[in-house]
A and B are shown apart, each in its own frame.
Chain A
Amino acid sequence: MSKRKSSHRSMNGKNFIILPIIFSLLILGICYAVVMPSARTFIKMGSLFFSDSEKNFSNDYNNIFVPVAEEPEEGTSEVSKVEEPKTVPLSSIEYPKIGEQFGELIIEDCQTDVKLFFGDGYVELNNGVGIYAGSFIPGYGKTIMIAGHNCTFFNGLKYAKVGQKVKIRTSYGNYTYEITDIQIKNAKDKSAYDLAAQTENLIMYTCYPFDALGFYPDRYFVYGKLVSGPVIDKKS
């Protein structure tokens, strides 16, 4: 009798756990079945706001720039002369991500020697100059638009003159451009650039006028053409 009683009690004890778990799963199942059909769209929309990992808000930037030795000018007898290839396969390039430093820009005549980033956000323009992400990297054969602040890294553009050389050094090759034109245009003037151009052209731009207090609608555009540098082979 006592054995039977204890068996009853233990069964009763189990019911205080098993039954609520079953009930709980039923409740969640019902809620899922009722809510999901109408909530699926909202959940899919909401999932756009989530990524696979936690976002990094650090102001530090990733530097993927590894300088390539420059080709010595003609007449010099440098031992460690490195022959730059005329084409670079796209597959061999580490295409920069937004916010990464992938090169440097030098205009000796303008006392400008700055870090070159991909992207033109706060971090990029507070540390150097940045390529507008809707344009292309050097060697790609299209338009390269580089932005910089007129009071900091692109202040030297005020000394820019037609014929001056602009050097861009990247991990996959060194490029030289020649300034062909300088124009002052409104920031909203779309004729200032052609992002669909099929020839490589460099556009550096900054706010104008230089060294003035206030926010002006004009931009200072400096245009350049490619002189030398490896072409990116997009097919390989």
Chain B
Amino acid sequence: MSDEVELHFDPEKKHEHHHSRPKRSVVKPIVYGFMSFMLAFVLFLLTVCMVIRLTLFSSDFMIGSMASCGYYSMVKDELKDGLTALGHASGLPDSFCAEFVETIDFRQVEMNYIVSFYSGSSTLVDDTNFKQSFRAAIDKYIEDNNIDKSKTTESSLVNLVDKATDIYIDNVSIPFFSILANYIYKLSGTLNVIMMVLVVIAVIIGLLIYFTNEYKHRRHRYLCYAFITSAITAAIIPTIVYVSGIVAKVNLGTRSIYNLFVTYFSSMFRYFYYFAGIYLFLAIITFVFFRIAYGKTAKHH
């Protein structure tokens, strides 16, 4: 196949007459081609594992996605809508709900929730502060507006606070997080081991290709094949996802979760492009080395 060029420089052919047709080696290119393929395969698997490690299993990535898609402000708007609707059923004016939501800072609560999720501990939203603040705001509202206390009961106010807290938890929590938490925590350790094994295999195959080839240009050529293959394979997956537009068609309940999902997975698939870029860079380097080595060998012969 690609062996025609190298055949001119094969050592065993040095003794042959220059004008006679060189003898073709069939086994070597197949073996090195296979090794090159295996290296590309291992690099692809490593890429998938690393993308998962850097995105799905990373709390920083989740927090970063939240910040970049304006998640917090959207949650605030949805919380305002939810509390306003609750107010329509419980006698609270729209202005009360809007003003109250502005006083809440749930960023830290959200961050703690995410971090504890990834560390395998609680996946529950801490609603203590919200509950206390909401109750305090209602008491102040009753006092400020001289509301007749006979028109309300303690149990109805407790119900109101509980309903509001449910709305808060619904808005701040992320669907299916509590179900996924256990799996992610357990798989995290296994993934590290898998990645290390893949790195070792990739290094071994790379060294085999490098040190068992007599000619430098061949070493670089087979490594170059592997890197180009890895670049193409890594780039195909996100390209299919982007072209199909499947991520944007996800059917989620709220705008904040939808935007978070789209930002999160779009960024995740972008990581495949980053790896494809790295492989392409390595492919270019090995190709340049191949050309230099090829030129030298050709000159030598």
- Residues of A whose CB lies within 8 Å of any CB of B are 8-9, 11-12, 15-17, 19-21, 23-24, 26-28, 30-31, 49-55, 57, 59, 122, 125-126, 149-152, 206-207, 211-217
A48 nearest in chain B by CB position: B251
Which of B37, B91, B142, B236 is in CB contact (< 8 Å) with A28? B236
Contact between chains at B156 and A214 (CB < 8 Å): yes
Given contacts A57-B258, A215-B160, contact A151 B248 (CB under 8 A): no
Q: Kindly state whether residue B199 has any CB partner on chain A within 8 Å.
A: no
Give Cα A49–Cα B231 distance, bound, in whole angstroms.
Answer: 31
Residue B225, interface by CB 8 Å: yes
Q: What are the interface flags for B78-112 relative to A under an 8 Å C-beta threshold, 1 for contact and 0 otherwise?
A: 00011011111111100000000000000000000
Residues of B within 8 A of A217 (CB): 159
Contact of B5 among A9, A150, A207 (CB under 8 A): A9
How distant is the Cα of A150 from the Cα of B246 in the complex, in angstroms?
42
By a beta-carbon cutoff of 8 Å, the part of chain B in contact with chain A is 1-2, 4-5, 8, 33, 36-37, 40-41, 44, 81-82, 84-92, 138, 142, 147, 151-153, 155-157, 159-160, 162-163, 224-225, 228-229, 231-233, 236, 246, 248-252, 254-255, 258, 287
A208 to chain B, nearest CB (A): 10
Shortest CB distance A65–B (Å) = 22
Do B248 and A213 touch across chains, with their CB atoms under 8 A apart?
no
B225 and A23 contacting across the interface, CB-CB below 8 Å: yes
Nearest CB of chain B from residue A17's CB, rounded to whole Å: 8
Q: Which residue of A lies closest to B153 (CB)?
A: A214
Min CB–CB distance A99 → chain B (angstroms): 14
Is B160 touching A214 in the complex (CB atoms < 8 A)? Answer: yes
Contact partner of B152 (CB less than 8 A), chosen from A51, A52, A213, is A213
Q: Is the CB of B89 within 8 A of A149?
A: yes
Given contacts A8-B5, A49-B251, A151-B90, contact A23 B160 (CB under 8 A): no
* Chain A residues in 8 Å Cβ range of B157: 213-214
Enumerate chain A residues within 8 angstroms of B287, measured Cβ to Cβ: 16
Residue of B nearest to A147 (CB): B89
Cα of A53 to Cα of B249 in the assembled complex, Å:
5
Residue ID in chain A nearest B82 by CB atoms: A122
Instruction: Check A214 against B254 for contact (C-beta < 8 Å).
Output: no
Nearest residue (CB) in A for B154 is A214
Q: Ordered nearest first, which 8 A-B pairs have the shortest CB separation?
A: A214-B156, A149-B88, A20-B228, A15-B2, A215-B160, A57-B255, A215-B159, A23-B229
Instruction: Return the chain B residue nearest A7 by Cβ.
Output: B4
Q: What are 7 A-B contacts defined by CB distance under 8 Å?
A: A11-B5, A16-B225, A27-B40, A27-B233, A55-B251, A57-B254, A151-B91
